[in-house]
C-alpha cells in the first residue's frame, strides 16, 4: 500500500509539472505511428519475413512502451541529474558508436547497427544525437571559456562523431549532426564570417569525400541518379512519389496501398508515402500541422526560460526534429536523394523510437513549470 502511495505521489507530481500540450502531441505522434504500423505496414513486413502477422505491430508497441518509460524517467529528473546522466550516456553511446566499425552488423553495404550482449540490434547514433545536443549546449553556454574557445571545443566534439558516421558510411546522419551544430553556434551569437568559414570548411570536406573517395561512391551514385531520373536507379523514390500522387487528397483507403508491397523499407524510410497513399495528402497535412504546432509551442517556452543552457538545448532538439522531418518528407517527395532517414516518432524502428523518446523526455524536463520564469494565471 505504501509503494502504491509513493507511485501516486511520483505520478501526480510529474503530471502537475509537465507541459500537457507538448506531452499530448508526443502521445498522439506515437499513437499515430502505432496505428499506421498496424493497418498499413505490419502485415506486409511480417509476411515478407515469414513471421507472425502482427510481429512488427507488437514490436512497435513494445518499443513505444519502453519509450514512455524513458520519457517519464528523464522528464522527472531534476536538472542537475539530467545533465549528469546526459554526460554519462553521451560517453557510453559514443563508445558504442566507436565499436560499430569493428563489431557492427552490416546491412545493405553499411555498418550502422551493433548488438551488445543481451541488447537487441540498435543504431547508436539515434540514441547519441539528443545527448550530443545537450553536451554542445553545455559547452556553448559555459562562462569559463571565451567565445572562440567554445566554438573550437564544440567543433572538436562533433569531429569524431562525424568521422565515425562517415566511416559507416551514413551521410544523412552526418549532415543532421553537422547542421544541428551549425544551428546551435548560430543562435549562440557567432560572428557571421566565422560561421561561414566553419560551414564552408566542413562542407568542403564532405563534398571531397563524396566526389573523390571510392568508399562513398554510393552517395555520388544516389545524387547523380536523383539529378537524372531517367538513369533507372531511382526505383524506391519513384515508387514513393508515385504512391503520393496515386493517393490523391483523401487516399485509396486502409490497406489499399501498394507501395508497402513494392519497397523494402516502406515502414521506416517511406512511411510518409505509405500514409499518403492510403489516407491521402490531407493526413500528411494534418501531421505537418501538428509538428509545426509542436515546434511553435516548444519555442514559445524559450521566453519563459532564464538559462542559456536550457534555451540552447531546446533550440537544438527542436531543430533536430524539424530537420529530420524535412529530410524524410523531402526524400519521399523526391526533393532530396535517398538517405534512410526515419520520420521522428512515427516511423517503425526501435532505435528511432528510443531516440525520439529521449528527445521528448529532455524537452518535457526543461519545460516543466518549476523551470519557467513565470506561469500563466487562469
Beta carbons of 266 and 274 less than 8 angstroms apart: yes
pLDDT of 272 reads: 82
* pLDDT tens, residue by residue, 222-258: 676 666 665 555 666 677 777 788 778 887 777 776 6
Which residue do the cell numbers 519513384 mark? 238
**What pLDDT sits at residue 118?**
67
Q: Rounded to the nearest 10 degrees, what angle do helices 308-332 and 124-140 cross at?
A: 140
Contact between 335 and 266 (Cβ < 8 Å): no
Q: What is the mean pLDDT of residues 138-152?
A: 81
Q: What is the pLDDT of residue 293?
A: 94
pLDDT over 80 (residue 363): yes
φ, ψ for residue 209, nearest 5 deg: -60, -45
Look up the pTM and report it: 0.86
Residue 163 CA to residue 331 CA, distance in Å, equals: 24
- Distance in angstroms (rounded) separating the CA atoms of residues 244 and 333: 8
Which has the closest alpha carbon to 254: 58, 52, 38? 38
- Segment 173-188 shows an average pLDDT of 89
Residues 71-80 pLDDT 10s: 999 999 888 8
- What is the rounded distance in angstroms from the CA atom of residue 267 to the CA atom of residue 259? 10
Amino acid at each position: 500500500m505504501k509503494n502504491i502511495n509513493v507511485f501516486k505521489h511520483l505520478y501526480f507530481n510529474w503530471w502537475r509539472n509537465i507541459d500537457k500540450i507538448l506531452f499530448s502531441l508526443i502521445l498522439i505522434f506515437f499513437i499515430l505511428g502505432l496505428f499506421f504500423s498496424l493497418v498499413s505496414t505490419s502485415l506486409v513486413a511480417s509476411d515478407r519475413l515469414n513471421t507472425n502477422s502482427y510481429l512488427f505491430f507488437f514490436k512497435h508497441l513494445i518499443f513505444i512502451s519502453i519509450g514512455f518509460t524513458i520519457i517519464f524517467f528523464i522528464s522527472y529528473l531534476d536538472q542537475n541529474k539530467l545533465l549528469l546522466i546526459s554526460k554519462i550516456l553521451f560517453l557510453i553511446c559514443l563508445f558504442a558508436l566507436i565499436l560499430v566499425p569493428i563489431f557492427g552488423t552490416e546491412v545493405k553495404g553499411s555498418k550502422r547497427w551493433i548488438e551488445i550482449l543481451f541488447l537487441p540490434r540498435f543504431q547508436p547514433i539515434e540514441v547519441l544525437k539528443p545527448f550530443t545536443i545537450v553536451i554542445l549546449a553545455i559547452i556553448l553556454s559555459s562562462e569559463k571559456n571565451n567565445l572562440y574557445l567554445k566554438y573550437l571545443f564544440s567543433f572538436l566534439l562533433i569531429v569524431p562523431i562525424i568521422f565515425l558516421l562517415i566511416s559507416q558510411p551514413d551521410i544523412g546522419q552526418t549532415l543532421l549532426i553537422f547542421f544541428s551544430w551549425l544551428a546551435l553556434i548560430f543562435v549562440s551569437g557567432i560572428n557571421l564570417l566565422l560561421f561561414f568559414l566553419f560551414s564552408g570548411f566542413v562542407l568542403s570536406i564532405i563534398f571531397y569525400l563524396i566526389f573523390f573517395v571510392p568508399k562513398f561512391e554510393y552517395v555520388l551514385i544516389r545524387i547523380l541518379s536523383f539529378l537524372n531520373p531517367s538513369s533507372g536507379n531511382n526505383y524506391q523514390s519513384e515508387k514513393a512519389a508515385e504512391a503520393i500522387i496515386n493517393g490523391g487528397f483523401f487516399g485509396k483507403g486502409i490497406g489499399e496501398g501498394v507501395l508497402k508491397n513494392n519497397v523494402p523499407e516502406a515502414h521506416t524510410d517511406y512511411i510518409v508515402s505509405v500514409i499518403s497513399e492510403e489516407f491521402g495528402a490531407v493526413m500528411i497535412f494534418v501531421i505537418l500541422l501538428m509538428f509545426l504546432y509542436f515546434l511553435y509551442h516548444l519555442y514559445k517556452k524559450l521566453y519563459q526560460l532564464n538559462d542559456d543552457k536550457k534555451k540552447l538545448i531546446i533550440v537544438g532538439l527542436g531543430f533536430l526534429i524539424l530537420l529530420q522531418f524535412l529530410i524524410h518528407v523531402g526524400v519521399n517527395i523526391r526533393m532530396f536523394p535517398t538517405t534512410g532517414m526515419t520520420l521522428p516518432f512515427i516511423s517503425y524502428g526501435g532505435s528511432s523510437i528510443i531516440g525520439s523518446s529521449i528527445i521528448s523526455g529532455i524537452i518535457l524536463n526543461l519545460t516543466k513549470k518549476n523551470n519557467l520564469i513565470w506561469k500563466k494565471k487562469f
